[in-house]
Chain A
Amino acid sequence: MAELTEELSQVAPQNSETQNSKTQNSETRNPKVGSPTVIVDDLHIVYKVYGAASESEKGNAANALMRILRRQGRPQMKEVHAVKGVSFVAHHGDAIGIIGRNGSGKSTLLRAIAGLLPPHKGAVYTNGQPSLLGVNAALMKELTGERNIILGCYAMGMSPAEVREKYDEIVDFSGIGDFVQFPMSTYSSGMGARLRFAISSAKTHDVLLIDEALATGDRDFKRKSQQRIKQMRDSAGTVFLVAHNLDVIEETCNRVIWLHKGKIRMEGDPQEVLEAYNKA
């Protein structure tokens, strides 16, 4: 896989982009190719939010005891109805972009598809195990890049043999070089993002969910990561991509879902949806 990446990265960026858009066009004409991989049926997600507590409200152990005795919830607890009745069907070979304003439920929807948030109502049906490209949460910034690579790979469920096999590839792809021996807290934000993406994309997935992974990093890294996504899409079948950068969506996706306040506002061909989204 490493060789493939290198080969691809030697192709001039413009060239590969035009190739990309050609394959997308042919897919756009026939979006129902293949059997469904993900079916989202009238999905509602409600979750509780704690926090926003001011210092005086946080209280001590005695207050906590009183609340438990009185069977009160925390006053700062709020329910958020983040996804309100979303339905769609994704097929093999689909790359679906999800766009929307901040707080429109994009990330929540991805997590629900990944099976990480239980539906309040409705259901998500999947083929195989959808994986969120999000190993970030397992990493620890005090540790060296090296330790984090190993930790991240294990967190994604790799075996020691796989970790040894992938280790060099991850370091190469991230391009952080000797920094791999330093704690991640010393990395620039771009370097951190590159390492995280390199780790989380080292595993092959059936259905892949990408949440804003490509927002940071320089142009070179952006190109590399887009090629990596394309490879994964070719082998995986279905890719979901959340991004605020609409160019990325237009280049990688063959379908776009526009979420607005937890509901689907518009869905379909990237150009049409993006045009409408930009006007709104």
Chain B
Amino acid sequence: MSQPESALAEAQGGGRAPESLAALAERHGLRRAIARPSMPAYLRQLWDRRHFILTYATSRNVSKYSESMLGQLWQVLTPLLNAAVYWLMFGVILGQSKSIENYPAFLITGVMVFTFTQRTVISGAKSISSNLSLIRALHFPRASLPLAYTMQELQQLGYSMAVLVLLVLVTGEPITWLWLLIPVTLLTQLVFNIGMAMFMARLGAFMRDLNQLMPFITRTWLYASGVFYAIDDKTRDLPEILRWVLEFNPAAAYIEFMRDLLIYQRFPERWAWVTCLFWAVFALIVGFWYFWRAEERYGRG
């Protein structure tokens, strides 16, 4: 299909220069248009685009609810309704609440923390494939897109956290000094989400069917992450290795960390700290590197 058909072009375009075009380009210091920048240069470009990333994230959030009557109120209503649905299902109907103390707070914390990662992963997978026209029109480091989508979810998280804190207080938990650690755990989770969004963005860009599979993947993840149940409680009979895998699950780790702070009023164990930090650093490095490796190929197909 791609046989060279340059004879005609040469007769018309190549006739003007006696030397080859490549040599002519080199003589005048012209470079190939497509080249992947080095990692430091790429990071610098990305930093220069920080205003675009933030404005794009805010704009998407504003336009997302602009068609609905209640408008921005949905940013608060969505997490509230989500929590209500799960509470009805697992708290009232399935009766989980009997074995876990303060089940509403337990559940809502799990839902909010998990939703932050879940939504970032899903939108990250779409961030390249649904912005092809933008990628084909303008130059910018492509990592801006998964980053902007992550920032968009971070803004949404602001509303969810307000709802979460309010509900936790309503269920009777006290405010403690441990609450000062909330931004720390959210920051590690954010870093983890950035890495995941980058990773998923590249996967989603070249594996178009991924978006169809995402609901399955994230739902499985949801059920495995101890959002509705206490992992150590339910996994007592499982083999050691499986328990270890479930506890090492990043989503479960971030959820447990937040529950320690908000509900159990205890300083998280060293194991929890290590898991949360490990996943943040690991996801960021791997995700960013993986995304950057294909920088010049986004938007091709």
Contacts and interface: CB of A to CB of B under 8 A. Distances in A.
B25 A64 contact: no
A205 to B, nearest CB: 11
B299 interface: yes
Nearest to A37: B30
Interface string A45-63: 0111010000000011101
Contact of B9 (A46, A87, A136): A87
B212 interface: yes
B4 interface: yes
Interface in B125-149: 131, 133-140
Contacts, number: 193
Interface string B76-91: 0000000000000000
B133 A264 contact: no
Contacts of A65: 209, 212-213, 216
Nearest to B65: A142
Nearest to A156: B138
B51 A154 contact: yes
Nearest to B211: A64
A86 B9 contact: yes
A39 B24 CA distance: 8
A30 interface: no
B63 interface: yes
B16 interface: yes
A103 interface: no
A266 B12 CA distance: 8
Interface of B: 1-2, 4-6, 8-10, 12-14, 16-17, 20-22, 24-25, 28-34, 48-49, 51-52, 55-56, 59-60, 62-63, 66-67, 131, 133-140, 207-209, 212-213, 215-216, 296-297, 299-301
Nearest to A68: B209
Contacts of B25: 36, 39, 41, 123, 125
Contact of B59 (A61, A115, A135, A151): A151
Contact of B29 (A89, A111, A122, A127): A127
Contact of A140 (B24, B63, B208, B296): B63
A270 B134 CA distance: 32
A67 B2 contact: no
A231 interface: no
Interface stretch (A1-9, A10-18, A77-85): A77-85
B17 A89 contact: yes
B13 A264 contact: yes
A266 B301 CA distance: 29
Given A61-B216, A116-B137, A155-B138, A35 B9 contact: no
A142 B213 CA distance: 29
A37 B56 CA distance: 33
B13 A143 contact: no
Contacts of B67: 142
A159 interface: yes
B135 A36 contact: no
Contacts of A150: 55
A223 interface: no
